[in-house]
Amino acid sequence: MQQTAQPAPAPQPAKAKPPAPPPEFQEGDIARMDAAALIRILTDSSSPEFQKAKACQRIGELGAKEAVPALSALLGNEHLSTYARYGLEPIADPAADDALRAGLSKLKGNLLIGVINSIGKRRDAKAGPALAAMIYGVDADVARAAAAALGKIGGVSSKKELQAALAKTKGMTRMAVADAALVCAERLLAEGKRDQALALYASLSAADMPKPARLAAMHGIIREETSVSRPR
């Protein structure tokens, strides 16, 4: 039986290229700008939020200390605060610490928590007293963030504040303080302050401490006491 030839498939129309985004949503130029041009974007009230966000990111890559005032002015902006902190965190100049520390007394809620997290990343010891006070505040989320930041900052001052907070806090906040104290103890060990670290582990090993922290502290003590590199 003879088969009927099938017609050739019709050619498919070429897919149209997606339209290019409008200029205010293009980031190529921003990725090549210097600090001065980026600051102009941040301080220009007519600049779109997208461009300001990308400018913050670019400033973080450059670590441009001259951009600190422009970035700090955005810390209270609900849409751009995260980007402003992204720009501030890598800047080595102490002015970035000053800007973040100033935000502790001006911001609330999630904006404040974000600044606290950035301070913890930068390990700004000068923020220690303010963070310690926040552990006892009415905002439980802020209290827990402040405790975590103290643990990341580490040092003897943070150790004392966290030990004091272990005796004065309850519930989830106390658990956050205990977790921060474990981080602080590891920081102390890394800094060669073994006696201070062991003292903090001992506090965390008390019977009334949150069980996960207590077990971790006991493990830390055993690890240090059985280490071949421990002082003899």
pLDDT at 225: 86
Residue 156 CA, chain-centre distance (Å), reads: 22
pLDDT at 29: 86
Q: What structural domains does the chain harbor?
A: 24-103 (1.25.10), 126-232 (1.25.10)
> For 64-84, b where at least 16 C-beta lie within 10 A, e where not — what string?
bbebbebbbebbbeeebbbbb
Give, for all 232 residues of the chain, the pLDDT tens digit: 455 666 666 667 666 666 656 655 566 789 999 999 999 999 999 999 999 999 999 999 999 999 999 999 999 999 999 999 999 999 999 999 999 999 999 999 999 999 999 999 999 999 999 999 999 999 999 999 999 999 999 999 999 999 999 999 999 999 999 999 999 999 999 999 999 999 999 999 999 999 999 999 999 999 988 876 666 5
pLDDT at 231: 65
With beta carbons less than 8 A apart as the criterion, state whether 145 and 116 touch. Answer: yes
Among the listed residues 145, 172, 146, the one whose alpha carbon sits nearest the alpha carbon of residue 161: 146
Contacts of 174 (CB under 8 A, 6+ apart): 165, 166, 210
pLDDT at 24: 58
Count of CB atoms within 10 A of residue 206's CB? 12
Tokens of 120: 């913890």
Q: Following DSSP, what letter does each residue of 16-81 receive, concatenated?
A: PPPPPPPGGG--TTGGG--HHHHHHHHH-TTS-HHHHHHHHHHHHHHT-GGGHHHHHTTTT-TTTH
